[in-house]
């Protein structure tokens, strides 16, 4: 038995949380114990919690009580103990982890560069979250870039897949893409790709409009990714044109304002995130224009794996990610926090939406 610590939250009240001691059982044949080294915490993780039931995010790492959950994060772990013949102690891994000090996995489909967790409760869940990268077998792994990998790889992959779906659908006939929470990293990645790939649009380009708070407007404009930046209080006077709405904020009042402003000019409404997780209900009920549709990244991943094959899919993301990483290092400041106090401070700031847009937080239990 090994003493461990879990960061447990109430599914019904994300402000209700506690560090809870736990015990890991003795490993069975074929099992591996991971020690979580560090992880990124962003608005994306708040989205995992806000949509934990609807999108099954709570199901990956059960907390032992139906009304409690462990928020998934992306980070690095070390093999603390192994009873698997192909996985050795000390090996470093990257993947989907709980906010805990330890995680027990059952590796399957073991290859030089990766394996999947074969735990029974994860088999009905999306494979993209069950795969762990073995750093020693990953040619793109650079120890000095771990922070950027944790912060941007999952977020930028979502950005890539959103842009890919929109482009695949010829932007649903729209002339503009309106993106809420324009200062969020997923939004910035999407805007970066829309600008980078704009010339691929048959009608000569797509206009990108970022919606943000007055306090973040200058930062968003300085990025140079958006053709126009509109503050939330200015949505009512936003230019009316055939548009797609990509809702990263998940703020119901913002969603309703956009739908009411664009009305019949709104070609498609995509609900992606919950950066404004606590304000989601304002847009409930009938809305002008098309009903919002959830974007679920694994669906687009499955489509592109079939179209391009695993190597082709990874190569396309790697090429786009490299360009974005170079861009992001010009404005992103990495902040590292260790211990329970640092975790709580960052968690509360993420819930309250007070993390600066030019900061990326890397956390560890100590």
Q: Please, what is the average pLDDT of the chain? A: 91
If asked whether residues 59 and 195 sit together in one domain, one would say: no
Tokens of 363: 């956390």
Residue 96 to residue 79: CA distance in whole angstroms: 14
If asked whether residues 15 and 115 sit together in one domain, one would say: yes
170 alpha carbon, distance to own chain's centre: 24
142-157 pLDDT tens trace? 999 999 999 998 889 9
182 alpha carbon, distance to own chain's centre: 15
285-321 pLDDT tens trace? 689 999 999 888 888 998 999 999 988 988 898 889 8
Q: What is the CATH number of the domain that holds 101?
A: 3.90.180.10
Strands 333-338 and 359-364: parallel
pLDDT exceeds 70 at position 197: yes
If asked whether residues 102 and 130 sit together in one domain, one would say: yes
Give the number of domains in the chain. 2
Cβ(273)–Cβ(249) below 8 Å: yes
The answer to whether position 248 is within a domain reads: yes
Identify the three-state secondary structure at position 70.
coil
Nearest Cα neighbor of 363 from 348, 352, 353 is 348
Q: Among the three residues 248, 279, 297, which one is the final residue of a domain in this structure?
A: 297
Share of the chain above pLDDT 90, in %: 75
Going by the DSSP 8-state scheme, the letter that residue 319 receives in this structure is H
The answer to whether position 110 is within a domain reads: yes
Residue 257 to residue 236: CA distance in whole angstroms: 7
Cβ(277)–Cβ(347) below 8 Å: no
Residue 128 to residue 327: CA distance in whole angstroms: 26
The answer to whether position 42 is within a domain reads: yes
If asked whether residues 106 and 193 sit together in one domain, one would say: no
- Cα-Cα-Cα-Cα dihedral sign, residues 179, 183, 185, 191: positive
The answer to whether position 304 is within a domain reads: no
pLDDT of residue 5: 97
Q: Environment class of residue 75 by beta-carbon count within 10 Å: exposed (0-12), middle (13-18) or buried (19+)?
A: buried
The answer to whether position 164 is within a domain reads: yes
Residue 187 to residue 182: CA distance in whole angstroms: 5
The answer to whether position 321 is within a domain reads: no
If asked whether residues 164 and 293 sit together in one domain, one would say: yes
125-180 pLDDT tens trace? 988 899 999 999 998 899 999 999 999 988 899 999 999 999 999 999 999 999 99
Q: How far is residue 278 from each of residues 47, 50, 56, 72, 356, measured CA to CA in Å? A: 11, 8, 19, 19, 18
pLDDT of residue 131: 94
Between 201 and 101, whose confidence is greater?
101
Name 336's Cβ contacts closer than 8 Å, sequence gap at least 6. Answer: 38, 147, 361, 362, 363, 364
If asked whether residues 114 and 171 sit together in one domain, one would say: no
55-64 pLDDT tens trace? 899 999 999 8
If asked whether residues 180 and 47 sit together in one domain, one would say: no
pLDDT of residue 201: 42
If asked whether residues 89 and 11 sit together in one domain, one would say: yes
27 alpha carbon, distance to own chain's centre: 31
pLDDT of residue 285: 60
Q: Among the three residues 279, 297, 315, which one is the final residue of a domain in this structure?
A: 297
If asked whether residues 157 and 137 sit together in one domain, one would say: no
Residue 324 to residue 159: CA distance in whole angstroms: 11
Q: What is the CATH number of the domain that holds 208?
A: 3.40.50.720
The answer to whether position 27 is within a domain reads: yes
312-326 pLDDT tens trace? 988 898 889 888 988
Q: Which residue has the tokens 């990124």?
A: 40
Range of the domain at 169: 153-297
Q: Give the residue-averaged pLDDT of 238-266.
A: 94
If asked whether residues 185 and 279 sit together in one domain, one would say: yes
Q: Among the three residues 248, 275, 297, which one is the final residue of a domain in this structure?
A: 297
Cβ(151)–Cβ(334) below 8 Å: yes
If asked whether residues 73 and 191 sit together in one domain, one would say: no
pLDDT tier at 51, thresholds 50, 70, 90: confident
The answer to whether position 312 is within a domain reads: no
63-84 pLDDT tens trace? 989 999 999 999 999 999 999 9
pLDDT of residue 202: 43
If asked whether residues 74 and 200 sit together in one domain, one would say: no
């Amino acid at each position: 038995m090994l003493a461990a610590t879990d960061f447990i939250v109430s599914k019904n009240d994300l402000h209700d949380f506690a560090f809870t001691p736990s015990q890991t059982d003795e490993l069975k044949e074929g099992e591996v114990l991971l020690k979580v080294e560090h992880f990124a915490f962003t608005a994306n993780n708040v989205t995992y919690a806000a949509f934990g039931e609807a999108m099954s995010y709570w199901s990956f790492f059960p907390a032992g009580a139906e009304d409690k959950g462990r928020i998934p994060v992306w980070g690095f772990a070390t093999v603390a103990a192994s009873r698997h013949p192909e996985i050795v102690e000390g090996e470093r891994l990257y993947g989907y982890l709980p906010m805990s000090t330890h995680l027990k996995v059952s590796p399957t489909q073991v290859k030089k560069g990766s394996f999947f967790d074969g735990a029974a409760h994860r088999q009905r869940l999306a494979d993209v979250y069950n795969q762990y990268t073995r750093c020693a077998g990953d040619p793109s792994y650079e120890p000095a870039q771990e922070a950027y990998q944790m912060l941007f790889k999952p977020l930028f992959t979502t950005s890539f897949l959103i842009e890919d779906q929109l482009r695949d659908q010829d932007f649903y006939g729209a002339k503009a893409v309106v993106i809420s929470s324009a200062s969020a990293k997923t939004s910035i990645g999407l805007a970066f790709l829309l600008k980078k790939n704009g010339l691929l649009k048959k009608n000569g380009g797509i206009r990108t409009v970022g919606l943000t708070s007055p306090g973040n407007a200058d930062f968003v404009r300085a990025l140079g990714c958006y053709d126009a930046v509109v503050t939330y209080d200015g949505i009512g006077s936003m230019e009316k044109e055939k548009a797609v709405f990509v809702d990263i904020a998940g703020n119901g009042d913002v969603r309703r304002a956009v739908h009411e402003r664009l009305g019949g000019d709104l070609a498609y409404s995509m609900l992606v995130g919950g950066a404004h997780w606590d304000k989601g209900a304002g847009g409930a009920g009938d809305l002008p224009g098309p009903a919002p549709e959830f974007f679920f990244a694994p669906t687009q991943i499955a489509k592109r794996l079939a179209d391009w094959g695993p190597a082709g899919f990874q190569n396309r993301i790697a090429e786009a990610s490299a360009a974005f990483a170079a861009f992001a290092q010009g404005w992103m400041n990495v902040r590292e926090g260790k211990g329970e106090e640092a975790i709580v401070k960052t968690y509360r700031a993420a819930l309250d939406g007070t993390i600066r847009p030019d900061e990326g937080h890397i956390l560890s239990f100590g």
